[in-house]
Amino acid sequence: MNNITEAAKRLNISQPALSKAIASIEDELGVALFDRKGRHIYLNRYGELMLNYIDSAFRELNEGERIIKELTGIESGQVTFAVTFPHVMPLLIQNYVSRHPNIKIKQYQAISERATHLILNNEVDFAISSSKIEHRDISWEPIIQDDIYLTVSKEHPLSQCISIELTQIKDERLIGQIEGYGFRDTIDHILKQEGIVPNYQVEVEDSSAILKLVAMNIGISFTPKQALRNLDKQIVAIPINNEHCYREIGLAYKKSHYFTEVASSFKTFVNDYFQNHIT
């Protein structure tokens, strides 16, 4: 929004009052924060810099409010987290809620980039990720190594293999997630190490659609072990003879993040669940 009159309406104050407030701040800082062109105003480089600090201040205020409410018992227990892969979440949440029925859970589905943003802005307590989230302000704790299998339709010629080499799939049509998702990045990295250029026939955002397309024999896919539960009878999962064919599942969280008792308990539960129910 670049019109000061419209901005005043949204703030429910008069236009002169808003103009006076802006002028007062600029006088105190000794520098203009906006470039003015007719009836429109635009943040200049000083304004953009100031906006970043203001946004950061509001995030810290919200985080402080959350912590105070937790310490004083005002807020009912809640844990918020992001996840970069959906397969295991329903069972994990079911197990936790059955033990802690009064705890509220909020889960975000996010690619690695968005998960990083949510962590840094204190919008989540942590993220469960299938690839390492790297940032100077984020800690990463690996939980398990999850083996990767090749999944094919029973009608596919490779379905008769007891195990398989990656070189056998170099000319096959692949079905996978679009670029940007942690598991897709892992697969592409593994194939690159073997000198294989993947031939993606179909790329989707919804990972749950991948195995449905495999069952239709449209192509083949790579599937982590934890996603093989209740596998369609039309699909065969084949072990891959390659020591690098695994993904690492771990927890990522902001180094300075305050973990409430509830969030800390859930974090411990997630570690235990993956180590004892997934491997």
What is the domain partition of the chain in residue ranges? 4-70, 71-143+248-277, 146-247
- What residues are paired with 250 via a beta bridge? 129, 142
What backbone torsions phi and psi does residue 151 show, to the nearest 5 degrees? -115, 130
Q: Which CATH architecture has domain 4-70?
A: Orthogonal Bundle (1.10)
Residue 169 pLDDT greater than 60, yes or no: yes
What is the distance between the alpha carbons of residues 47 and 37, in angstroms, rounded to a whole number? 15
Nearest residue to 193 (alpha-carbon basis) of 156, 116, 245, 154: 245
pLDDT tens string 58-90: 887 877 776 666 654 434 578 899 998 877 778
Rounded to two decimals, the pTM is 0.65
What is the token pair recorded at 258? 């305050």
Q: Which residue has the tokens 């009836």?
A: 39
Taking CA atoms, 200 is separated from 57, 160, 174, 209, 219, in Å, by 45, 22, 5, 15, 9
pLDDT tens string 101-116: 888 889 998 888 899 9
Residues in Cβ contact with 233 at an 8 Å cutoff, skipping those fewer than 6 apart: 154
For 44-185, strand residue ranges (E) read 78-83, 104-109, 126-129, 138-153, 174-177
- What residues are paired with 223 via a beta bridge? 149
Question: Using 50, 70 and 90 to split pLDDT, how confident is the model at 278?
Answer: low
What CATH number was assigned to the domain covering residues 71-143+248-277? 3.40.190.10
The domain 146-247 is placed in CATH, from the list 3.40.190.10, 3.40.50.970, 2.40.50.140, 3.40.50.150, at: 3.40.190.10
4-70 shares its CATH topology with 71-143+248-277: no
What is the token pair recorded at 203? 């790329």
Q: What secondary structure letter does DSSP report for 3? A: B
What is the distance between the alpha carbons of residues 69 and 78, in angstroms, rounded to a whole number? 11
Query: What's the chain's length in residues?
Result: 279
